[in-house]
Amino acid sequence: MEEVTFVGEALPFEERIELPNWGGRATTIKDYQRYLRGTVENFREFWANAARELEWFQPWRAVLEDGEHPYVTRWFPGAKTNISHLCLDRHVRGSRKNKVALIWEGEPRDEAGNPREVRKYTYYDLWREVNRVAFALRSKLGLVRGDRAAIYMPMIPELPIILLALARLGVIFSAVFSGFSADNLALRIKDLEAKVLITSDGFYRRGKVLRLKETADQAASSSGIIQNMVVVRRVGLEVKMREGRDVWLHDLLSAVPPTSGVEPERLESDHPLYVLYTSGTTGGPKGIIHDHGGYAVLLHTTMK
C-alpha cells in the first residue's frame, strides 16, 4: 500500500477564500468575445493553451482526435492526469496550502438565523482528509481504478471529500440527489453497475430531520448489486446496519493512521470521472460521462 509523504505541518489559515489570480481572466464583454472567437476560429489552439495552464503527469499527443462518431471524440489523447491532484496536490505544494478552500454552514440555525455549525477547511486539511478516505476505501473495501460507486448524500463537507477520494483512486462515481426515491436511486445504481453505495444516516432540510439510510437500504436491496455501504453520521439517528455490508465512515477511518494516503492514479485524460444522469422525465435516465482531463480544462476555463 502506497503512503503519501505529507508536506510539512499545517499553519494557521487565512479566514477568507481568495480567487486565483489567473492571467487572461475575462472581466469585460470584450474579453468574453475574444474567448468566444478563439473557440470558433482556432479551437484546437484555444483548448491547447487552456490545457497548458493545468498540470499533467504526461502530455497529450493531440488536442482532439475524431472518432467514428461525434460522441466518441477524445480530448487530449495520450495525456495523463487526475482531477484530485489538480484540485488539491498542486495547491498544497504552493502558496495556497494554508488558505481556506471550503467554508460550510450547516443546519439547524439559531433563532437569529445563524448556522449552529460552521466548518472551515484549508487545502491542506482537505488533502489530508481525502488521502485518508482514499486509503480506507482501497485498503478496507478494495476499491480500485475502474470500480463504480453511487453517492446518496446531503450537502455536507464529507461529500466533496469522498468524491475527491474516489477520483484519486480512479473510481467512477455518480452523485444522486438526496431527495430522490429508492426506485430512482436503484435505477441509477444498476445502470452505473455500482458495487459501493455511500450515504448518511439522515440530514437537515429547512429545520427538519429527514432520514436517508432507510431509503438507501431499499435501493440497495432492489438493485441487488451493492456489496458495501458506507454511512456518514450526520444527525445521530439510530439506523440498522447490515452485518458484512454496512460500515460507518468513522469506523472505517478509525484504524487509518493520520499520515496514511495514496498517490493519485495517473489516469488517461478520457478516463471517466463521474456519470451525471438526466432527470428521466422523457424516458429512462441517461448517463452523461464526464472525464478527468477534458472536464478539468473546461471547468478551469469556465471559471475564468
Whole-prediction pTM? 0.90
Tell me what pLDDT residue 188 has: 97
Tell me what pLDDT residue 72 has: 76
Kindly give, in sequence order, each residue whose CB lies less than 8 Å from that of residue 45, ignoring residues fewer than 6 positions away.
Answer: 38
Tell me what pLDDT residue 195 has: 98
Domain residue limits, the chain: 24-53, 83-297
Query: Contact 229/199 with Cβ under 8 angstroms?
Result: yes
Cβ neighbourhood burial of 237 (10 Å; 0-12, 13-18, 19+) = middle
> Could you state, in chain order, the average pLDDT of each consecutive group of 10 residues for the chain (304 residues)?
48 57 74 84 92 97 85 90 98 93 92 90 97 98 98 97 99 96 97 98 92 98 98 96 97 92 96 92 86 96 84
C-alpha to C-alpha distance for 150 and 173, rounded to whole angstroms: 6
Tell me what pLDDT residue 76 has: 97
Given CA atoms 236, 159, 199, 206 in this order, what sign does their dihedral have?
positive
pLDDT one-digit tens code per residue, 174-213? 999 999 999 999 999 999 999 999 999 999 998 899 999 9
User: In DSSP terms, which residues pair with 172 in a beta bridge?
Assistant: 148
pLDDT one-digit tens code per residue, 25-54? 777 888 888 888 888 888 899 999 999 999
Q: How far is CA 158 from CA 163, 165, 230, 233, in A?
A: 9, 10, 12, 10
Q: What's CA 196's distance to the chain center, in Å? A: 15
C-alpha to C-alpha distance for 217 and 87, rounded to whole angstroms: 32
C-alpha to C-alpha distance for 284 and 275, rounded to whole angstroms: 15
Query: Contact 20/91 with Cβ under 8 angstroms?
Result: no
Domain 83-297 falls under CATH 3.40.50.12780: yes
Given CA atoms 258, 104, 246, 235 in this order, what sign does their dihedral have?
positive
Tell me what pLDDT residue 217 has: 98
